Amino acid sequence: MKPIPPDLAWLNLPNLPTPVKVLFSGYLLAVGLGLCMAGLQIMLTHGMADGKPGLSLDDIVYSYYGDRTGSKLESKLNGSMKEMGTPEARLDIIKWVRNGALDAEWEPHFKDTFKQHCVMCHSSVPGIPDFTKLEEVKKVAKVNEGASIQTLTRVSHIHLFGISFIFFFVGFIFSFAVGVPKWLKISAIAIPFGFLIADVLSWWLTKWNPNFAWLTIIGGFGYSVASTMMWFVSMYQMLILSRNGKIYGNAWQADLE
């Protein structure tokens, strides 16, 4: 049996008792895998928001702010549906949609307009909206305003609770690292929390103003870098550095000085 070092001299990542190392490195492994999956999921969902693969500012703007330049109905009437109906009918529909008071004028007027110009296809061709029904018209007449407040509050609190749990334990484990300057240790532990809050805040700010989308990228990037650094240093010290048999002393004690 190894001699027991005096006075908590084993309290550092390389010298931790093996069961604690198993606990810490098992946790880090699972969390590391989880973070990779989270990254992949972001690429697959938000990354495709603007229709192109890869995460870009446009994706973030599209997810949180939406596309408020107009409704799908309006963009189609200026695009592939431009030749359907007379120019007057088109302008008439666009004005009605921009006004937003859809219900009041449907029966007396627009039901007929759609019937004349659109319904020959939009009620018989499968897979395109049926414009004999007001609800179907309304669906394409809505302006895309991005994430709803309900979605944002839900995702925000899940993120803040869940991810701070991850950062808490990753930072706690890293606090036992040896040979890391105190200022660097403190920054690496603090940064993820700061960026996590900035990241969640940026969703709300982006919903209000699309120029804040860059903050989402910086926030996500910032906490990924800080936690990846802590992850690798901790794993290295527990599993590899420990093999030289050296006693490193109480890591917390060292940080008091």
Binding site for ligand HEC (CB under 6 A): 72-73, 76-77, 80-81, 84-85, 93, 117-118, 120-122, 125, 128-129, 140
- Min separation Cβ 124 and ligand HEC, Å: 9
CA pair distance 245, 75, nearest whole angstrom: 70
Distance set, CA 244 to CA 87, 95, 237, 241, 247 (Å): 82, 77, 11, 6, 9
Kindly state the smallest distance separating residue 122's Cβ from ligand HEC, in Å: 6
In the complex, minimum distance from the CB of residue 189 to ligand HEC, in angstroms, rounded to a whole number:
49
How far apart are alpha carbons 51 and 39 in whole angstroms?
18
The answer to whether the beta carbons of residues 230 and 13 sit under 8 Å apart is: no
Q: Output DSSP code: residue 175.
A: T
Name the burial class of residue 64, with classes exposed (0-12), middle (13-18) and buried (19+) by CB atoms within 10 angstroms of its CB.
buried
How far apart are CB 131 and ligand HEC at their closest, in Å?
Answer: 7
**Cβ distance to ligand HEC smaller for residue 102 or 152:** 102
Q: CB 77 → ligand HEC: shortest distance, Å?
A: 6
- Of 113 and 175, nearer to ligand HEC (C-beta) is 113
Residue 44 beta carbon to ligand HEC: minimum distance, rounded to whole angstroms: 22
How far, in Å, are 133, 191, 239, 253 from residue 182 at the CA level?
67, 14, 22, 11
Return the number of the residue (94 or 152) whose C-beta is nearest ligand HEC: 94
Give 85 or 210: the residue with its C-beta nearer to ligand HEC: 85
Cβ proximity to ligand HEC: between 7 and 135 the closer is: 135
Token pair of 158 as six digits = 């899940």
Smallest gap from residue 150 Cβ to ligand HEC (A): 24
How many whole angstroms separate alpha carbon 253 and alpha carbon 256? 5
- The smaller minimum CB distance to ligand HEC, of residues 76 and 182, is found at 76
> In this complex, which beta carbon is closest to ligand HEC, that of residue 75 or of residue 156?
75
Residue 216 CB partners (closer than 8 Å, separation 6+): 60, 64, 199, 202, 203, 206
Q: Are 90 and 73 spatial neighbours (Cβ–Cβ below 8 Å)?
A: no
